[in-house]
Amino acid sequence: MPTVSIFKDTLEEAIGEVTEESFGDLCFEFGLELDDVTSEKEMVMKEKNAQAAEGCSERVIFKIDVPANRYDLLCLEGLVRSLKIFKGNMSCPNYKLSTPTPQPQMRMTVAASAAKIRPFVVGAVLRGVTFNVDRYDSFIELQDKLHQNICRNRTLVAIGTHDLSTLKPPFTYEALPPKDIWFKPLNQEEEMDGNRMMEVLSTHQQLKAYLPIIRDSPVYPVIHDSNRVVLSLPPIINGDHSKIRMETRDVFIECTATDHTKANIVLNTVVAMFGEYCTKPFMAEPVEVVYADDYPGNVFAKPGEKKIYPQLETRRMTSSIARLKSHLSLKHLTEADVCGLLRRMGVPCETDKKQKDLLHVDVPITRSDIMHECDLVEDLAIAYGYNNLHLEVPMTFAGAGEQPVNHLADLVRQEMACAGFVECVNWAILSRNENFTKMRREEKFEELWRPVANPHEYCPSLGAVTLGNSSQAGFELVRTSLLPGILKTLESNKAQQLPVRLFEVGDCVIQEPTREVGCKNVRRVAALHANTKSQFAVIHGALDQLMYSLGFEPEHEKTTASKRKTFTLVPGEDPAFFPGMQANVVVDGIVIGIMGELHPAVVSSEGFNANLPTSAFEINLEPFMEWM
């Protein structure tokens, strides 16, 4: 959770006199927490550096914990504005674009080369900004906090701010070899190229952490003005030529990104927070971003397309007032009460003129955290007051009970244990190499947004759900099959007494485009048998026994007196298994799993390095919830 530090005297200039107790209560009412009250001198003293503390300020500092998704509260300006709105001392500002005349409209041309490394750029201009020491420090600190938070340490978005009076538009955004980029980096004494910059900044206490983002790329992103003056080399450093000073009045903001949505959020946040210091408060001058005709198109940008930033329009949402009140048991509130409470949270809204229960919400650019009706419920609860909510016991009995699929999974575990198999529990997240390459399976991205023909179809190679910002190479995606995890366990235990019999019952995640989240969990069971020689009959027998316990028997053994359902084995084509020595398990025409001898490449040094003949099966348990 981010922590925002603000001086007490600066805060009092904005909202009036406060004490530690009164401000703590106000923060609590607004859903925040006053974490600490200190001073610069006291913080240095805590580090046992009395000599350094002698020259430090004794101004009282309030440290406030704010939610990680409330980017508008990461600076004094946003926090004060939100508290004023909450207390009813001001209404939500109307953020809008100015008419750029008499100056020509700012233009940023994006070259095709930029798409190779950092494809998106957005921009805005703040005219007539008045800085003082506190405002300047807040301006810099907001950028740092955004970089650490939504920007994911500049990997997703990098912010550049420049003194527009030192530059000559229009601007160009391109990617060039490091040797072709010459400029004087911010606060450096010499002019250098991209390679020399990397060398110099490799010892910089803060910036050295960002160098790996582009260091190994053959080209670096760079922004020039019309005189080929370098504004910035994102995401590393700005040019010294256009650095912001206390005397700066016109600020040019550019955000380069690998995530277009987050770039918009970051740009809007900076514009909204410091737009109040402009000659015309809360007004930004637009920047036209033009993509080159040879730019490789994507979902956000097309060749030759022109876009205007910042995009300050509100986002329209609708909600049911009755549903909002029901979630919090606030049925006594009127429609006007609900609107008033949400407006206190900086969310403009009004009831429909015809349907009084229908609420129209205009989500401002500062509230990117509002994505669903449940976010409105949270704001309504904060505005009403958590301490004012009362526990309401429902009249309906809701006795606790085990989920049917969990009960089935427990029965399957017991059956496999009785068959002599040892259960293992593996990570649900693994690497793409383990989930696909070592299993000799291809990730079918072309099927990523196409529904599977049958919801119970066994499909271990459908495009996986991947992690957007994985911190470890081994944790890249959610498993689409249980077998890779069991094989990793076998690889770690191949020195144990043979034979090795392992099984796992757990969830895999498969693509399901019809669902809101685009995927779903599927409960499966998988088992393997490994020995010095192939013993396929063991795994075949374990599958037959498990199916028999689930109320199924092989179709060829079906008798007229038997009331059991049947399953069949048909030849399979899974590349993880040996050709001609595998079979799909089919029930009612649906392939629910596979069984067979694993391919030698899967269990050799090319794969999981078990080096033992291994047979295995994996089946879906979800269909049995309907068949049993």
Written in H, E and C, the secondary structure of 226-290 is CCCCEEEECCCEEEHHHCCCCCCCCEEEEEEECCHHHHHHHHHHHHHHHHHHCCCCCEEEEEEEE
- Please identify which residue in the block is written with the tokens 């405002």: 135
Annotate 421-475 with DSSP letters as a single string.
PEE----SEE-HIIIIITTT---BGGGTTS--SSTT---TTBPPPBPTT-SSTT-
* Contact between residue 193 and residue 179 where contact means Cβ atoms under 8 Å apart: yes
CA distance 524 to 507: 6
Asked, as a colleague might, if the bond just before 102 is cis with ω within 30 of 0, I would say yes
SS3 category, 417? helix
Residue 355: closest CA among 372, 335, 373: 335
SS3 category, 405? helix
CA distance 499 to 528: 10
User: Letter for the amino acid at 384?
Assistant: Y
Predicted local confidence at residue 494, as pLDDT:
84
CA distance 486 to 87: 58
Q: What is the average per-residue pLDDT within 344-368?
A: 93
- Band of pLDDT at residue 297, cut at 50, 70 and 90: confident
CA distance 356 to 604: 68
Q: Which residues pair with 566 in a beta bridge?
A: 553
Delimit the CATH 3.50.40.10 region(s) of the chain: 96-309
Which of the pair, 471 or 3, is modelled with greater confidence?
3
Q: What is the per-residue pLDDT across 228-268, written as a single tens digit (0 to 9) for each?
A: 999 999 999 999 999 999 999 999 999 999 999 999 999 99
Q: Which residues pair with 307 in a beta bridge?
A: 289
Q: What is the per-residue pLDDT across 150-209, written as a single tens digit (0 to 9) for each?
A: 999 999 999 999 999 999 999 999 999 999 999 999 999 899 999 999 999 999 988 999
CATH number of the 3-87 domain: 3.30.56.10
CA distance 220 to 179: 10
Q: What angle do CA 159, 164, 168 make, to 5 degrees?
A: 115
Q: What is the per-residue pLDDT across 419-452, written as a single tens digit (0 to 9) for each?
A: 999 999 999 999 989 999 999 988 765 444 444 4
Q: What is the per-residue pLDDT across 55-64, written as a single tens digit (0 to 9) for each?
A: 677 888 999 9
Q: Which residues pair with 65 in a beta bridge?
A: 3, 33
CA distance 131 to 277: 8
Q: What is the per-residue pLDDT across 457-490, written as a single tens digit (0 to 9) for each?
A: 777 766 788 887 676 778 889 999 999 999 999 9
CA distance 140 to 132: 12
CA distance 74 to 64: 10
* Contact between residue 183 and residue 191 where contact means Cβ atoms under 8 Å apart: yes
In degrees rounded to 5, what are phi and psi of residue 128?
Answer: 70, 35
Q: What is the per-residue pLDDT across 258-295, written as a single tens digit (0 to 9) for each?
A: 999 999 999 999 999 999 999 999 999 999 999 999 99
Delimit the CATH 3.30.56.10 region(s) of the chain: 3-87, 315-385
Question: Whole-model pTM?
Answer: 0.71
SS3 category, 164? helix
Q: What is the average per-residue pLDDT within 505-531?
A: 88
Predicted local confidence at residue 39, as pLDDT:
84
Percentage of the chain with pLDDT > 90? 69
Q: What is the average per-residue pLDDT within 488-504?
A: 92
CATH number of the 315-385 domain: 3.30.56.10
Mark 371-380 as b/e (b = at least 16 C-beta within 10 Å): eebebbbbbb
Predicted local confidence at residue 54, as pLDDT:
66
Annotate 521-552 with DSSP letters as a single string.
EEEEEEEEEE-SS--HHHHHHHHHHHHHHTTE
CATH number of the 404-627 domain: 3.30.930.10
> What's 96-309's CATH class?
alpha beta
Delimit the CATH 3.30.930.10 region(s) of the chain: 404-627
Residue 25: closest CA among 90, 87, 92, 73: 87
